[in-house]
A = this chain, B = another copy of it.
Amino acid sequence: MTLFCSLHDAVADNLKDGDTAAFEGFTHLIPHAAAHEAIRQGRKDLTLIRMTPDLIYDQMVGMGMVEKLIFSYVGNPGVGLLRRTRDAIENGWPRTIKIEEHSHAAMANAYEAGASGLPCAVFRGYLGAGLKDVNSNIRSLTCPFTGEELAAVPSIRPDVTFIHAHRADRKGNVLIEGIIGIQKEAVLAANRAVVTVEQIVDDLDTHANACVLPHWSLSAVCEVPGGAHPSYTHGIYDRDNAAYLEWDKISADHDSFLAWMKTNVLDASPEDLEARVSRLRKVK
């Protein structure tokens, strides 16, 4: 079984310069470890897709790895703006980036359509909204029964999706619990999928209808305890809200940003994450 490998190898094998990639997670289970590995490996000219680009995309944008961002909410959730991304959009630092902006409903439907093998998603959306005028990928079609005009957006089909999850069993089947977000769709919509998990176990030991990804739908599975920090893994460790508040200061200027990236990402390793979550672990 070659599914299991180091995070280094999983990123090296599955993420190429110029790829369209999604590192998904809806506040919960954000794949920080995988994104940091991508930063260390210096990938460039990426098109990054995400409903809620937060710290990891802010970091990748700030490191100049990103050519285009496809998103629906580019904020630091509950804190405010993403300063590195804003700097790139407003001032072109460290490089100009293209953006393709949608609503959450559009992106959720577009991932769902990607997972469903469809070329586009159809929904009732963007009524009166300004994004239609600035994004040529927002189109419409007509219901052949009622004549209602519905919105259409292209389905999302990333070259590669990275997610973080709770557990994998020894065959590589993966369990996600709690706020499952768009994780399953992001994996099934992609050509390749890499999953970091908190733990590899004998038995997933879960509910019949839990969110489980079969091993044959995945490209690589890597055990990275703490791999979501400062996001969280439900029931295992809490969200590091303080780190999200701190990011607002760290990212406020170029020097403090670059210094933080050197210490905490470039000179760090996936093994460092476990220590960062120790004080956040749930007492059982």
Report A's interface with B, CB cutoff 8 A.
Answer: 116-120, 122-124, 137, 139-146, 148, 150, 152, 154, 177-178, 180, 206-211, 234
Contacts and interface: CB of A to CB of B under 8 A. Distances in A.
Contact of A122 (B122, B124, B139, B177): B122
Most B-side CB within 10 Å, residue of A122, A154, A210: A122
Integer count of this chain's copies in the complex: 2
Nearest to A140: B144
| A interface, over-half SS | loop
A117 B124 contact: yes
Contact of A118 (B140, B142, B150): B150
A177 B118 contact: no
Nearest to A109: B116
A206 to B, nearest CB: 7
B148 A144 contact: no
Contact of A207 (B123, B146, B154, B177): B177
Contacts of A146: 119-120
A117 B140 CA distance: 17
